[in-house]
Structure 1
Amino acid sequence: MAENRLVQGRYRLLDTIGRGGMGEVWRALDESLGRQVAVKCLKPMGPRHEPGFLRVLRERFRREARVAAALQHRGITVVHDFGEDDGTLFIVMELLSGRNLSQLMDDNRRAPLPVPDVIEIAEQLTAALAYTHEQDIVHRDLKPANIVRTTDGTVKICDFGIARLNHDIGFTARLTGTGVAMGTPHYMSPEQIGAGTVDHRSDLYSLGCVLYEIATGAPPFNQDDAWSVLVGHRDTAPEPPRTQRPDLPEPYQRIMLDLLAKDPDDRPRDADELGKRLADARHRQGTAGTPATDTAATAPTVRMPSWALGITTGSPANSARPPRPARPHRPADVLTDTWTGGHGTQRREASPAAGTALPAPSDDAPDDPHALTALLETSYALGRLGRHFEAHQIAVQVLAGRERTLGPDHPDTLGCRHHLAFNLARLGRLEDCCAMAGEVAGARARVLGPGHPDTLATRYELAYVQGRLGKWAEALRSYQEVAAARTGTLGPAHPDTLAARYEVGISLGRLGRGAEALAVYRDLVAARTRAQGADDPETLRARHGLGVNLGRLGRWTEALAEAREVAAARERALGADHPDTLVSRREIAVALGWLGRWAEALGIHRQVADARERVLGAAHLDALASRSDQAQCLDQLGRPADAAALYRRVAALRQERATGRR
């Protein structure tokens, strides 16, 4: 590939940022959207390579694009596009600002990373692998060079070039051939070396190798030749890492050695179990102040938990106000108002105007209960103003004060921790939010009871964040348990019970269980109609979900009819330009597109785009999405020039929006 080459008329190659066995990676400019991206190109091969070998390489490359594009998680590199240009296959990915773990160690002359960094990286990688394995995907080539730590501390897994879909055995056999081990020798599991059965536990072994290396400065088997390395993985017990790194707490050494077990059955069962062990190790380290080790160990420095890192005076989280003891909690209102942008019955609370002066946080939160309550109210107000870091800072102070005066399990203390946990989501710390919210839910269940409204409120919101992380199986279980508990305490027709059942339907749909989701929505529509009437917004919301899942099942004629009826009802009840009405009208256009009626779809997409632009502004994300839908229709109708012009307009507005934020 040549510098300044334009790939597929869109991606301008700027400079090479990496080379590997399968290709090279370029920093490039996406001229349509005006953003920088990374473009990975399959390296041109000389005539000495057999055509069959080239076909395998190309198939592997296409596979990486398909696998990676299906993954949506904070800890996995985002894939934007895939294609072929003049015989060269390419993948377009997000351009990461940071260094891979191998480079980080090289920068430090191969010295091990600080223990707190090792722990943080282990926790983030485990969360990403848990998500990946839930999608039935095994990476099979996890190594420091494939793991990037960005400048904001996020750890991302890259390069799914030899990832294996567990259910796709035939395709994998064509890729690898019989008895061919794939992977990188220093990080390969014994079963990979023996060309045995490879599953998610092989990734856990590779993770153990990575953690061992960043903790000690070298992988567990670091011989000079590849054969000795492979034999080491297969036959030799690794040297305990604390013999080289005595300040590594014993619980983390135990975890690494268990990950490096020769027999997959002796490793942690899955990444979820590993995550629990890591959380327990952090808790033991933080509460004891010293690790549970022999006397030769050096006590680690107690560090702030990851959710508290980066707290500075500056902007914090538009978070829902936790329940007050004096009034019942409305978890459905919290979610539909704050989390999902206005669908359903909304709780309205007075918010300070943008210029309202708020009390400045003190360096030490006073322990007077009234003062702590006032400070917490300030945190809520700052969150509603979008000043998320300030809100977070104050909530941390209030939590410390309440723990001192009331104890860690007092309902008011737990209410503050609830607020703090979901504030983390507004800071982009979804994994930390999940961990802390799980602790709050457990504490509330212990103190108040598993069926208490406050307990269920935390579990309900925790499920929402699990969904945002792509952990839909966990979210489904949480929503089902909340729905069952509310059915028992509030009754099957209570609005909060119905709200939980709605989220069960959402989760089933996300998991590809469309038929089950359809049944949930049919029952929900009937229940909402009986309780609130056919034209109630919540009834129409349930009908919208029913129509979406008809589409997921390929029943597009029925989906089209349902979308038209819901759109008409929403227009009567809410108005023609209400966001919910426009969402239903877009569903009409989507169904028309799937039925091949692109001209009709184009007209509706244009109407929706015009309405959103009129109400929200031309640069609003929803308006831009609608213009992109309109451009796609133009492409399908054989009008590429018109489509290109519209894409350029969208790109310019996105750039203007980004510039305005800066």
Structure 2
Amino acid sequence: MSPDSPLDDVEALRAIEDVCTRFENADPSERDIEVFCQGFSGEQRTALLRELIGLDMELRRRAGQSCQLSDYTGFTELNRSLLEAVPSTFLNTNFQNLVDDSAKPTSPRYQVGELIGSGGIGDVYRVDDTFGQRPLALKTLKRQFQAHQSAIDRFHREGLLTGTLQHPGIPPVYDHGTLEDGTPFFSMKLVEGQTLQQILKSRQAQRDDLGDLIGIFENVSQTIAYAHSQGVIHRDLKPHNIMVGRFGEIQVMDWGLAKRLGGDSESDQDVATEPTRSAVETDRSAVTQDPSSGETPHGSDLTTAGDIVGTPGYMAPEQARGDVDCIDARVDVFGLGAILFQILTGQTLFQGVSRDETIERTRRGELVDAMRHLDQLRGDDTLILLCRRCLNPDPAGRPVDAAEVAGVTQDYLAGLQHRIRQAEIERSRSEVRMIESRKRQRWIVGLTGALAAVAILSSVIVSDQWIKAKRAAAAESMARDIAEQEAEATTEVNEFLDEILTSSLPERLGHDVTLREVIDHALPVLDGKFTGRPHVEGSIRRTLGESYRWLGEPDIAERQYRLALAAFEDANSYNELEVLETKDRLAGVLRSRGDEGDFAESKRLRTEVLTRTRELLGESHERTIAAMNNLGTVLIEMNELDQAAELFRAALRQIDASPHPEQYSRPALLVNLADVDRMKGQWDSAEAIYLDVLGDPQASTYESDLAMIQLGQMFQSAERYDASLHYLRQSFEVREQYYGPRHPLTLSAMRKMSRVMDEAERYDELLELLGESLDRHAQEYLPAAGPICEARSLMAKALIGLGRVEEAEQYLEETIELISSERGAKHKYALAAKKQLDALRTAD
């Protein structure tokens, strides 16, 4: 949009969209364009006319009425060129063949990378946000549509609507507007993974991964339930629009056809009344396409343009008929039913039927063949019945909205986990009875270090809980119920841990069983085990969350913390301090991700924890001091440095005023205060504080290590490489001894050292370090994982720096081949290695 356009005003956009929504929802006899334009003048009236004419033409065409551009020439302010800009005049034009759209958009903020999706009027690029220092997806309006104001307006409204939907299952929109080169855009979260369609196509058999797929379906239903609660319907649900990220995150994409129900709110934004493909392309905005899938954003599964709103085979009959007055949340319920049908049967509703025939059968509600397939299924009666209800041709026979679908699916999964748990328990008991005492003793001695760590950790936790419970039981009578509950819970936790360790015998999980495998094994056993005793489940899930957090699995950790909080809320009585501790740990996971939305929730949670802890325990209690420190760390991440420093100083004042300052963790506060100084550029002050911490006998190993790391990175920024490596080596040695040679923190220290050596051009040292580092990383990471690719790139640089150019060239060729075989030739790591190789050959 031009800077002078009245539609740059968000309120103007919303006002126009409000009118369009009311126009679409009005009775056909009352759709008088002139009446709906009352109150608008100038360029806003022209823009509104353009929208209403295109909408009116589409609604009349759906109803079987003929319409021509000449029907609207009475509006004198619209000349012929404006009329021809109405989207209905180019519904079936293949602009891809008419316009060269190969040029990428340009922006000083966004470094535009590869095109990862294209369809309709939108392109999606992978970009690096130089401002936020993170990769994003950038959706732009194709150049051939930038001359059409109607398409521009609708593109912006799509970004506005998507941005109002704040849910973990919907990719957040970070920014929208117009790039410096005039291209309309909005940026959003980048999610790399596969579409549900790709996952379904890769199944070898109909029942493969059914439990996982139903879990995905339940997540999608919950996301759509949220949208329905906000008065928004999606209108284009299909497996192609559901993303499953590499770490299990599930996102519902393509909100271009979304519609806000009603129309009496200024925020109503019916971004999908556009009959063109402008609002319906598959936003591969969070996807790196899988070239082996045979799919393309330009394929036949893209939303149909011009004829109907939605995708044949997934749209409801009322959508296919164009019955605007009948469209509500139940069209999404039908779409969910079509997805569930595909999960259960391995087929689409109209498998092998032409597009036109699919539309006609959908309009007539003819689903006889689909119902026959459902009749042939065995088991899963709950899901089959749900699928039938969702696919009812009559909207009145379907669940009222996605929340009902999600509820049924959630209950099914809970029952499924219960059955699995019972089977596992019985199998474990049977095996335990068969194991001789001598064999079990041999297993205990020979178990891997990781599993031993679990046992030790568990015993420490249980012992600590037991002591706390017994002490509390002897305290004031008002705490007796909680104390007895904790003592009872400890016994049950002991039994649960014994069950998990027993079921993790080498005969079952292998002699190389790892910590991760043991706690993974615990999750399905835990589901449904403590029904009626939610306080026990909450305690265990909190511990599992902490384990996953340290294993570098923040998404799983977050889920366990949230489930723990939900369990505590279900308990009749609970220890509020335990709940506050769980909220603080959840906030820690959210903070560690580095996402702005996660920072905001982390700040909210830790503010709540601090406020309530002060009320319960007082200003000077050690838990209050810890809460102040933890909130301050979030404020640092949000660049609220002055507020963070004040919290740290206030906490230090409380410690200094205490008669027993030794009970507090003063060094941790000092390290964080030094971080504030370092970020403000006050390096001398920061260095002095870090060194004080290193010399403090009260500092824990963790606190001393943190000071070493921060000193190393600060000296690296100052190009004082000797000092930097001195402290980073100290940190590495501490971590290797304390955590082990292959712990993620130990490997992280090795990577930090290698980066400094590279900057300092100490290639002999770098080559030696990388040899050891790659060996260790290879035992913990996949061959083409990010840390390994980084190490291989540095290895090539070291070889070049030592004049071993031919070795470097061969090494880069091997790296490219490795990454391409594992992640594809167009993956960013493969492209980076190729760029490095090209630069080497050019230099030669």
Bucket of the pairwise TM-score, normalised by the shorter protein: 0.5 to 0.7
Shift of 1:60: 3.2
Q: In the alignment, is the contact (CA less than 8 A) between 2:539 and 2:564 conserved in 1?
A: no
**Alignment match, 2:197:** 102
What corresponds to 1:572 in structure 2? Answer: 653
Aligned to 2:3: none
In structure 1, what is the Cα distance between the partners aligned to 2:678 and 2:544? 46
| Alpha-carbon separation, structure 2, partners of 1:417 and 1:524 | 22
Match of 2:116 in 1: 17
User: Contact 2:671–2:689 (CA<8 Å) still a contact in 1?
Assistant: no
* Aligned counterparts of 1:409 and 1:508: Cα–Cα separation in 2: 28
8 A contact 1:212–1:241 mirrored in 2: no
Partner of 1:280: 411
Alignment counterpart, residue 532 of structure 1, candidates 613, 618, 624 = 618
Which residue, out of 461, 464, 471, partners 1:321?
Answer: 461
Q: For residues 141 and 582 of structure 1, do their structure 2 counterparts lie closer, same or farther at Cα, with a shift above 3 Å needed?
A: farther
Displacement, 1:57?
A: 3.0
- The offset of 1:226, in angstroms, is 5.7
- The residue matched to 2:143 in structure 1 has which SS? coil
- Identity rate, percent: 21
TM-score (structure 1 length as normaliser):
0.53
User: 2:155 is matched with which residue?
Assistant: 58
Pick closer, same or farther for the CA change 1:613–1:328 going to 2, 3 Å: farther
SS at match of 1:251: helix
Secondary structure at 1:156 match in 2:
strand
Asked if 1:125 corresponds to 2:125, the answer is: no
State the 1:393 CA deviation.
Answer: 0.4
1:281 to partner: Cα distance: 1.9
- Deviation of 1:166 (Å): 6.3
The CA deviation at 1:205 is 3.2
Choose the corresponding residue for 1:187, options 314, 317, 330: 314
- Deviates most, 22-31 or 392-401: 392-401
Please, which of 345, 362, 368 is the counterpart of residue 232 of structure 1?
362
- Per-residue deviation, 1:233: 6.1
State the distance in 2 between where 1:537 and 1:313 align: 32
1:100 Cα deviation after fit = 1.6
1:44 aligns with 2:174: no
- Could you say which residue in structure 1 is the equivalent of 2:339? 210
Q: 1:390 to 1:224 in 2, by over 3 A?
A: same
For the 8 Å contact 2:231–2:260, the answer to whether it is kept is yes
Structure whose alpha-carbon radius of gyration is higher: 2
Q: What is the deviation of 1:143? A: 1.8
1:208 CA displacement? 2.0
CA distance in 2, matches of 1:172, 1:38: 25
Check whether the contact 2:588–2:602 (CA below 8 A) recurs between aligned residues: no
CA displacement 1:395-451 (0-9 Å, x = unmatched): 8479979x99x9998999996676447645664325863796589769x95xxxx32
| Compared CA separation, residues 275 and 570, structure 1 to 2 (3 A) | same
Q: Match for residue 390 of structure 1?
A: 515
| 2:284 aligned residue | none
Q: Measure the CA separation in 1 of the matches of 2:584 and 2:316.
A: 34
Q: Which amino acid aligns with 1:328?
A: A
Kindly report the root-mean-square deviation, in angstroms, between the aligned alpha carbons of the 2 structures.
6.6
Q: Residue 387 of structure 2 corresponds to which residue in structure 1? A: 256
- In structure 2, how many angstroms separate the alpha carbons of the residues matched to 1:247 and 1:227? 29
Tell me, yes or no, if structure 1 residue 433 matches structure 2 residue 564. Answer: no
Is the counterpart of residue 451 in structure 1 residue 592 in structure 2? no
The SS at the match of 2:386 is: helix
Measure, in 2, the Cα distance between the counterparts of 1:144 and 1:122: 10
User: Does the Cα contact within 8 Å between 2:590 and 2:602 map onto a contact in 1?
Assistant: no
CA distance, structure 1, for counterparts of residue 645 and residue 160 of structure 2? 38
Q: Give CA deviations for 1:551-570 in whole Å, capped at 9, x if unaligned.
A: xxxxxxxx999989756533
Q: What is the identity, as a one-letter code, of the residue corresponding to 2:120?
A: G
Alignment length (residue pairs): 493
Query: Is contact 1:434–1:465 with CA below 8 Å preserved after alignment?
Result: yes
Q: C-alpha deviations, 1:233-256, integer Å up to 9, x for none?
A: 674567337437625622211222
Judging by fraction of residues, say which structure has more helix. Answer: 2
Q: Does the 8 Å CA contact 2:561/2:583 hold for their aligned counterparts?
A: yes
| Matched letter for residue 8 of structure 1 | S
Q: Aligned in 2, Cα 1:237/1:609: closer, same or farther, shift over 3 Å?
A: farther
Deviations 1:1-21 (A, max 9, x none): 876857312544444332211
The amino acid of 2:139's aligned partner reads K
Counterpart residue number, 1:86 = 181
Give distance in 1, aligned partners of 2:546 and 2:580. 11
Q: Which residue number in structure 1 is paired with residue 210 of structure 2?
A: 115
Looking at structure 1, the residues matched to 330 and 313 of structure 2 have their Cα atoms a distance apart, in angstroms, of 16
Partner of 2:825: none
Q: Is the 8 A contact 1:42 1:88 kept in 2?
A: yes
Stretches of structure 1 that go unaligned for 5 or more consecutive residues are 290-301, 305-311, 332-367, 380-386, 471-505, 512-516, 550-558, 590-601, 628-651
For the 8 Å contact 1:141–1:188, the answer to whether it is kept is yes
Distance 1:10 1:330, change over 3 A: farther
* Partners of 2:629 and 2:647 within 8 A in 1: yes
Unaligned 5+ segments in structure 2 are: 1-99, 277-307, 421-425, 429-447, 473-493, 506-511, 592-599, 657-664, 691-705, 718-754, 760-784, 792-844
Change in 2 beyond 3 A, CA 1:437/1:521: closer
